[in-house]
Structure 1
Amino acid sequence: MSVPEFAGHVPGSGSYRRLIAGLFFAGVATFAQLYSLQAVLPQVSADLHVTPSTAALTVSAATLGIAATVIPWSMVADRIGRIPAMAIGIIAATVFGLTAPFSTGIEMLLALRLAEGLALGAVPAVALAYLSEEVHVRHVAVAAGSYTAGTTVGGLSGRLIAGPLGEVFDWRIGAWSVTVLCAFAAALFLWLSPRARRFVPGRLRVDGGPGMLARLARALRSPQLLALYAQGFLLMGAFVAVYNYLGFHLLGPPFLLPVWLVTLLFLAYLAGTVSSPWAGSLASRNGRRRVLLGSIGVFGAGAALMLIPHPIVILAGLVVFTAGFFGAHAIASSWAPVLADPDSRAQAPSLYYFAYYAGSSLFGWALGIAFGALDWNWFLTIVITMGAVAALIALATLRPDAPAREGL
């Protein structure tokens, strides 16, 4: 009797729990060190005698590195396997992350942060392809939401550790401590993640499948995929910019809040931990397009609340804004490999993350110029406009009946 083909891990199985837990820790190892400096940007600015927008380049340099390597990492993963590629990237990034806090000037810090980002690109380039291949198709959206929730925990933990330690000791101590945490998370990822059962390294090349350029072209030819890439570019750019410059806004007049209190605002990230899997569950019942548009609406409403000059209202707006962003991101990122042709399933999420981190790098810096030259209200107006443009693109391009055809 022939052995039935493996259909994918399903919720309730031990292998499914290990896969989700492994990717959760991969998200922590990646996003904690990626965004840890965001919590200490005012200290970096003061210590290295640079402007807020220049200090924010320490975040943009890392995200630029990710944007530059998500596609090359997808090529590496096609040849050596999904788990080995992510393992190499995380280990290399941890080495650079442990070195970066010893930088003596902004130039050295930016170079090391860029190198860190180049290595970290392995995780977003490969994680969702691995997940979409190994999880049963009916549960991909929910599993992707759980993975995205892990990335929010990583981003939050990095900020909450670096911020208080940076205030008590030094921003360098804060950033270095976060990277030590990431090393432990990376070890847990390597231990927990089950081996791939539905992907053979080098299969596309050995079986005479399409080459890399052909697969990239396929992933760039679909209007629906291009619309998803636009979501990542615009929404992530606006999101990172808000978190980059909100601390400067609240530390200055009229608020003059203490650093420790501003750092606690990053707890708003927990809203994304909740909204990511929730959005995936809603999408499995109501369709991805509807949930995506609703999440963007929540994103815009939260940004609008932050126009009100009161710390409590700004915090409430930040929570709503964060929940909306991560809901939209969970849907858009998990939809990319599903809409792609089977041969370009790794390239579609890689291109999504290229746009995602390109938006982070560009707008995370450029909106700082607007923040410095104009004011907070104009800054948020730009953020809201970016969300509106993303919604219009999704409304005009994405088909509402696509999830039903995917069997969700």
Structure 2
Amino acid sequence: MDKLAVIQKQSTNTTMNNNRMQSGSPAFRQANLALFAAGFVTFITLYDVQPLLPEFARVFDIPPALASLPLSAATLTLAAAMLIAGTISETLGRRPVMIFSLVMTSLLALCSAFSHSLVSLVTLRFVQGIVLAGLPPVAMAYLSEEIEPATIGTAMGLYIAGNAIGGMSGRIFTATITDFFSWQIALGLVGILCLGLSLYFAYSLPPSTHFRRRPFETRYLFTSLYQQLLDPTLRCLYAISFMVMGSFVTLFNYITFRLTGAEFGLTQTLVSFIFLSYLFGAGCSSLTGKMVNRIGRGATLRVGLAVMAAGLSMTLTGVLLLVIVGIAVFTCGFFVTHTAASTWVGRQAKTAKAQASSLYLFFYYLGASVSGTAGGFCWTHMGWPGVACLIGLLLLTAGAITLLLTKQTAGCEPAALRPGGPINPLSPR
């Protein structure tokens, strides 16, 4: 009887896997295109205001710290809401939560075009961050449930590509339109585009066939989150994510003020092209897996932080070319550090991996909100050297935590992840 039960279970698992979307099938293509559009919408609406911060400061006659609030408000509420978004989708369903998230964030983006005060704009962005949280963790859960395991890497890659392209193109698009027309028209066009893509997503995303509804368990959610914070390694990684993302957003928030100011006098359109440095960062991110396998996780984090520090130092010069190269170098270091840290979180968490990742993203976006606004006070009172000092302090703190983390985990890395150890054939290439 035991053998028969095992055979029946294996047969059931095989049937379930065969029912999943496979590479080349129409459903697989539809899901990939739909989730590419979803990733595009998520990050174009989140970051489309970043190159407009100098414009907000000018139009509303406010200091840079207040001008950063439209971005900081969205990342702050996104950070908090992501802690429970995945659990809510367990009860309401993946597809309905994602559709609601995309349609609502698109409508809010459209409404922001009619904002005539900082208060109304920040309020809309505050709510937008909450509804945006219904996409990133839920999309990953949908892919893991509906896509055949052998091809899930392809699907996840396309979704992440949508994230990157949306974030980068949104910044360039809004800056360019603002140069020729106004920031309201730029945000309005983003809202219209995203609403169209959201309706396409709702129409084309295949229904969930492997989703199993579960009751909302508040006690389990908070207990599992608390358990992750008891792990000293995870606590260090969460602190590093706060420092690193905080420094990254701070640099891009206020380098735009410097480049459009009297020192260089560039237009919004020209400044927006600094975000093309993300392409270099994405390339470095793809090489991080090899670096981790050769020199270890802790050493990879130290290398990434050192590269960020080197790029930051280059931005202190008064030579435009060196400043731009410094931004690109800084971006590469960030992607290496972020990739190594986020991967380490997934491997370190023994249980409730989703909650471990949610906490990482919580501290990640919390750093963006807190430091992203604090940098404005540094810019107002000390200019770019003050901003660079804040970023340098964040990187120095992250470096100290990395050294502590390396001591805590000395000898605990698998052979394939120790310096000189064999290359892991399953690592990203």
Range of TM-score over shorter length? 0.7 to 0.9
Correspondence 1:349-388 to 2 at 5 A: 349-388=357-396
Report SS of the residue matched to 1:257: coil
Q: How far did residue 119 of structure 1 move?
A: 0.8
Residue in 2 aligned with 1:302?
311
Structure 1 residues 273-288: aligned runs within 5 Å: 273-280=282-289, 282-283=291-292, 288=297
Pairing partner for 1:264 from 234, 257, 273: 273
Q: Using the TM superposition, name which of 267-276 and 28-37 deviates more.
A: 267-276
Q: Distance in 1 between matches of 2:400 and 2:98?
A: 34
Q: Percent of aligned positions with the same letter in both sequences?
A: 32
Can you list the C-alpha shifts for 1:257-287, whole angstroms capped at 9, x where unaligned?
2232212222222223333334356557765
What residue is the counterpart of 1:333 in the other structure?
A: 342
Gap change, CA 1:144 and 1:137, over 3 Å in 2: same
Say if 2:172 is the partner of 1:164: no
Is residue 397 from structure 1 mapped to residue 402 from structure 2 by the alignment? no
**Aligned pairs for 1:8-407 within 5 A:** 22-128=34-140, 147-187=159-199, 189-190=201-202, 200-202=212-214, 211-280=220-289, 282-283=291-292, 288-342=297-351, 344-397=352-405, 399=409, 401=413, 404=416
Q: Is the 8 A contact 2:21 2:146 kept in 1?
A: no
For residue 149 of structure 1, report the CA deviation from its aligned partner. 4.4
8 Å CA contact 1:36, 1:162 repeated in 2: yes
Structure 2: 5+ residue runs without aligned partners?
A: 1-7, 418-423
Cα offset, 1:43, TM superposition = 1.7
Q: Is the 8 A contact 1:145 1:276 kept in 2?
A: no
Deviations 1:149-189 (A, max 9, x none): 43222111111110010111001111121223323443555
2:62 partner SS: coil
SS in structure 2 of the partner of residue 3 of structure 1: helix
Q: Aligned AA for 1:255?
A: F
- The residue identity in structure 2 corresponding to 1:356 is Y
- Per the normalisation by structure 2, the TM-score is 0.82
Determine the C-alpha separation between the residues in 2 that align with 1:141 and 1:339.
Answer: 21
Partner SS state of residue 49, structure 2: helix
Q: CA deviation at 1:347?
A: 1.5
Report runs of 4+ in structure 1 exceeding 4 Å deviation: 5-23, 127-149, 187-199, 280-290, 402-408
Please give the TM-score of this superposition, normalised by the length of structure 1. 0.85
3-state DSSP class of the match of 2:83?
helix
Give the Cα separation in 2 of the matches to 1:46 and 1:305. 28
For these two proteins, the number of residue pairs brought into alignment is 404
User: 1:186, 1:336 → 2: CA distance?
Assistant: 31
Q: CA deviation at 1:112?
A: 0.5
RMSD over aligned CA atoms reads 3.4
Deviation at 1:403, TM superposition (A): 9.0
Counterpart contact for 1:98–1:180, Cα < 8 Å = yes
Instruction: Identify if the C-alpha distance between structure 1 residues 136 and 329 changes in structure 2 by more than 3 Å, giving closer, same or farther.
Output: farther
After superposition, the Cα gap between the structure-2 partners of 1:278 and 1:250, relative to the gap in structure 1 and judged at 3 Å, is same
> Which segments of 5 or more consecutive residues in structure 1 lack a partner in the other structure?
none
What one-letter code is carried by the residue in structure 2 that aligns with 1:385? L
